Structure 1
């Protein structure tokens, strides 16, 4: 059984400030270790449920955060960014039994995490078919294109609630919740224990599921700065959608992924 894990950092237990997320910062050293510990807990849970191989995408910012020397020998890791439209799910294919998400965070425009965002800080909101979407929305749909169910997510309370709404049966561990610039978090040791136990349980129960990928689809990116909307509007098929927004439509969700790959930057 092969398992895919997409690992982010802003939903890691204990995290609170952007300085703790940036490659090379003094604070990042501590929080990359906590990110790695939660990822390892998910790997251990998958192994206990019978996984023979786990592929991990280091899916935060530089793609070079996880402490590679701590990975067990049944793990492969995808680092940095290939440029492929699968983005945070790059390395996934139809041979995997399940997708798991660790360290995930609330979507842009919400108050569930001081670090809430979607893709980058240029985007004020991302919508799919009129609904405000998160990185999980995009990534679970990406997994579904390969017929891979999403079974487990750890992260802040907001993204956990979104996950349960989108994918009935998915297992979740709520690591923290936000209050303005403050956060209220469980201890990292508890988070790791709950993640390990939760992953093993959902894989044993064959829980989780796949959102429908049938079109038509409309992607709308609302930017903080209208300059970014102007630039993104040059993607083939994109159109203006207000003073700070650009839209793209397709019946094929992979084309939405391809457009997002270029339009978000």
Structure 2
């Protein structure tokens, strides 16, 4: 065991300053390499802020966008450990299982159906909505709940104004860094990247300094889960999984997780099924 502060930074890409279009976030897009460089720089700013506050903190970074292979390892702050690649049991929140004292969300976006929100979605275009206990949640809500299961507070989030508002609604005491203001799904008024990084660094140090004032999102079980899916074929596949049922209407599947960890894992599986096309 160690007495060092343990911090997990979960990093997405759509909420990074300057990013407004899907071609900037997907491998093969003409501006993807620029996007991943901007993402890496914002993560480094968050790392610097954490270590400004607690110089000997143990910091892990979970690459949490798409392939989970976006951050440039050679450009990442050498004082951290990088978690990359998929699949992995806790997805965007890999590292929680190793024991963590505080979580930071960097580059996050609003949930599907929220708006205006830059590149707002929930996990995948295959998903129209996710509901836990009847309440609609996006990646912010899912990941904050998962952190809460482990007793860990989300102390900071960065992204557009919609993403920041979504986190504050769940965790009022969290520090948020608005790096752009959404004008639509693919348009924003954005800070200069260096200004965004400066604000993230200052805010990360502030968030770590006041982490004891932030409560973890309460979770319990069982967790009633509903997923509205874009493709009926995905519904057909998902109902082959034990415990998953089709709801009336043809686009929704339901299941019950014994806790948020079990629900989270099954959500990940259903999302992956959404990548399979009819033979």
Q: TM-score range by the shorter chain?
A: over 0.9
Q: Answer whether contact 2:103 2:153 (CA < 8 A) is retained.
A: yes
The counterpart of 1:149, out of the listed 150, 153, 167, is 153
Residues 193-245 of structure 1 show CA distances to partners (whole Å, capped at 9, x for unaligned) of: 11100110011122432111112321111012211122112221111123211
How far apart are residue 94 of structure 1 and its match? 5.5
Q: Tell me the equivalent position of 1:178.
A: 182
Q: Does 1:128 align with 2:144?
A: no
Q: Tell me, what secondary structure is at the counterpart of 1:93? A: helix
RMSD of aligned residue pairs (Cα, Å):
1.5
Q: Tell me, what secondary structure is at the counterpart of 1:40? A: helix
Q: Does 1:6 align with 2:10?
A: yes
The counterpart of 2:68, out of the listed 35, 42, 63, is 63
Q: Tell me the equivalent position of 2:277.
A: none
Distance (Å, rounded) in 2 between the aligned partners of 1:28 and 1:92: 28
Q: Which moved more, 1:105-114 or 1:196-205?
A: 105-114
Residues 58-102 of structure 1 show CA distances to partners (whole Å, capped at 9, x for unaligned) of: 111111111111222320001111331x11011223632101110
The counterpart of 1:103, out of the listed 104, 107, 113, is 107
Q: Does 1:249 align with 2:253?
A: no
Q: Answer whether contact 2:9 2:62 (CA < 8 A) is retained.
A: yes
**What is the TM-score normalised by the length of structure 1?**
0.95
Q: Tell me the equivalent position of 1:92.
A: 96
State how 1:222-241 maps to structure 2 within 5 Å.
Answer: 222-241=228-247
Distance (Å, rounded) in 2 between the aligned partners of 1:192 and 1:208: 23
Q: Answer whether contact 1:152 1:208 (CA < 8 A) is retained.
A: no
Distance (Å, rounded) in 2 between the aligned partners of 1:73 and 1:11: 23
Q: Tell me the equivalent position of 1:137.
A: 141
State how 1:157-172 maps to structure 2 within 5 Å.
Answer: 157-172=161-176
Q: Answer whether contact 1:19 1:27 (CA < 8 A) is retained.
A: yes
How far apart are residue 250 of structure 1 and its match? 3.0
Distance (Å, rounded) in 1 between the aligned partners of 2:148 and 2:97: 10
Distance (Å, rounded) in 2 between the aligned partners of 1:100 and 1:114: 20
Instruction: Provide the aligned length of Structure 1 versus Structure 2.
Output: 264
Unpaired runs of 5+ residues, structure 1, are none
Q: Which moved more, 1:65-74 or 1:102-111?
A: 65-74
Q: Does 1:22 align with 2:26?
A: yes
Residues 24-67 of structure 1 show CA distances to partners (whole Å, capped at 9, x for unaligned) of: 43301111111111100100000011142210011111111111
Q: Answer whether contact 2:6 2:101 (CA < 8 A) is retained.
A: yes
Distance (Å, rounded) in 2 between the aligned partners of 1:134 and 1:202: 22
Q: Does 1:214 align with 2:229?
A: no
Distance (Å, rounded) in 2 between the aligned partners of 1:99 and 1:125: 24
Q: Answer whether contact 2:153 2:214 (CA < 8 A) is retained.
A: yes
Unpaired runs of 5+ residues, structure 2, are 273-279
State how 1:198-209 maps to structure 2 within 5 Å.
Answer: 198-206=203-211, 207-209=213-215
**What is the TM-score normalised by the length of structure 2?**
0.90
Q: Answer whether contact 2:117 2:183 (CA < 8 A) is retained.
A: yes
